[in-house]
Structure 1
Amino acid sequence: MIASFSAIAASAASIATFLGWKENRELRKVQTEPLIDIKLEPVEYRIHFLRLKITNVGKGGAHNVKIKLFPEPSLDASFLVTAQKAIKVFMQRDFMIKGVNYLAPNDSKYTDYLSFTGLNPKELDSEYFFNLIFNAEIRYEDLKGKKYKNTYKIDTSERLCCTKIS
């Protein structure tokens, strides 16, 4: 009976050790992975200027970062034109066209900005813009070459909020 109890206790300890090791391994992995986030935000010195901010919020460096913006397929034709104009402005930066070789943890990149004042040729009709939905697909790799792909839905009616969809 004592031997049986000892065997059960040893088995339970082995299982607990294995589960702890597995959880520890997952935590270590998460602490070294990159995670690229994207959000729509105002420019600090002019709140009527909006741009996209791309940030590595993960703990590891992101390599070969590629960003693709595209309108939400469900948009009707009147909003589609505005979405394409906004995407064209956001895609003007060199890093948006060619990608980023390396984005360190907590490092950010900013797209060109849109204006709603009438003083800028990049101006868009705010009534249309603030009812847009477009998507951002971000592909990148970690140091070991593991590939990641995140797709975000950017809803301008929420103005400063983006929702990760995959």
Structure 2
Amino acid sequence: MERNALVYRRGRLQLPRDIVGWTPDEVGRWLSLLPPADRVQAFRALPFAQGVAGFLAMEPQDRAGLLSRLNRNNRNRLMGLAGTDVLAATLLQLRPEARTLLLEDVPPSRRAAVDQRMDTLASQGQADAVTTPPRSSWRTALARLAGGARRRKPAA
């Protein structure tokens, strides 16, 4: 845990020096240890791909806490990259009014699938059942992130 110790300088959270080499599980655990306000600050300070991998590795209630505190741009990017199961389990952790607001930002092409998966998880009482996504979903999300970056380059 010493490696995960929180270090503050001049009242600001400092990222651990070796965090760039951490696995998604380690980043997710470290983010989960942080107080909610610091969690947002730390997430935004991380390279985005590493932050996404850490987000996907977090438990649903921790993901929900982070997602609900991010700005709209980061929140929309995370919701676009998260798999349907992960997104549904995360949204089920929120209060109904917060869930409704965030669902408005789910890409329209995915909204029906997310709604259906949330209904299924809620009816089975398994909102907490989808915790950590399989490693392949991290790779898929990161590939989508890389693909999205390429599409945004202007045509010559």
- TM-score, normalised with respect to structure 2: 0.23
Pair member with larger Rg:
1
Larger strand share, 1 or 2: 1
Larger helix share, 1 or 2: 2
Higher RCO (C-alpha under 8 Å, 6+ residues apart): 1
- TM-score, normalised with respect to structure 1: 0.22
